[in-house]
Chains A and B, each alone.
Chain A
């Protein structure tokens, strides 16, 4: 997701010349149409997560995606980092029950606690696959980092469905599309197991934002980008400080070096 930015930086970093040559080409490889680039709030060297969008995105995840996709690396407590209070988190999870063992070692269900991981929709991968025509829906914890074009790709998938009657006869022939197949412009091979998950007014936002398909998709991408790398803002903040420090140090070192060498030049 930070690739275009990184490329700009690289132009100045001539030291990594070989890396650029190889790295850039590695990215250019790949078959299907590239998802269009969208500007994200969290991109760029100073980009931060849009908290309101990410919270709405969590609502979309919870009400739509969570039916099939796990988010196994996240805990409910992490939601406080999105700006929710501890009581809000407790309110959100009050109806969720998770399995545990009681004192006698018997399996029981107990109410979820903030320290619990997000509850998975299926007990294991085999069960997930069995319930979804043989292909388990991927876990979404690091999905934005795990796909080329990251957020653009996820957004592209969510909004890139083409109904069967809008397909050209060539497309139907080339990709062997059947009437009940899901055709997605940005999915490699185009035929995707997931039916279009989002549509206008699929959710009702608590903050009154109009729930268009576009809005829902970009909100959930904002949320998933956060889930993929919750410490991103901290990383960039630290980076600014470290680089300013190193620049100052480099300046001083250069001055010292000049002084030391003055009599030898």
Chain B
């Protein structure tokens, strides 16, 4: 009796799983390949937004001042402590502090923070400002103020040459 019930439950779960799994990302969605971006046209102090897996990716060519500012922040002031150095390291472990590459999606509720375009508000910390619920990020894309819990996410990327970066 118990064995039959248990076996039946296993069967029911096995039947339910395909229905649940069906809603997971499909193979063609998962297969969205990597993208390559030529960063030569991005002048110092400028940033561009590219689309990767349906999400915006920010590529910012940081100024010396911005890099210094980001490096000088003590860890104790960060809600999600992370060194600036770690955030500008590519998958080959090469550090390029002038290039900050991150997914431009606020870690609060998924809006695209402002700050990439020249006229945009950059928030109190000179980085990015999310217009939806008021989160402010610093010049390293780290959360400093507002409801977002985490720093802007760094995707896997690799500089295949000094001018070409592969994201994904």
Contact = CB atoms under 8 A, between A and B. Distances in A.
Contact between chain A and chain B defined by CB under 8 Å: yes
A231 to B, nearest CB: 34
A137 B119 CA distance: 18
A176 B117 CA distance: 14
Interface size class of A (residues with CB under 8 A): under 10
Interface of A is mostly: loop
A176 B119 CA distance: 9
A191 B119 CA distance: 9
Contacts of A189: 119
State the main secondary structure of chain B at its contact with A.
loop
B133 to A, nearest CB: 15
Contacts of A191: 119
Interface in B95-146: 119
B127 to A, nearest CB: 19
A263 B21 CA distance: 63
Nearest to A135: B117
Contacts of B119: 176, 189, 191
Nearest to B48: A134
Contacts of A176: 119
B148 to A, nearest CB: 22
Nearest to A190: B119
Interface in A29-47: none
Interface in A173-221: 176, 189, 191
Nearest to A189: B119
Interface string A154-181: 0000000000000000000000100000
A145 to B, nearest CB: 22
B46 to A, nearest CB: 12
A159 B75 CA distance: 52
Nearest to B119: A189
A91 B6 CA distance: 78
A191 B117 CA distance: 13
A126 to B, nearest CB: 11
Interface of B: 119
3 contacts: A176-B119, A189-B119, A191-B119
3 nearest A-B residue pairs (beta carbon)? A189-B119, A191-B119, A176-B119
Interface of A: 176, 189, 191
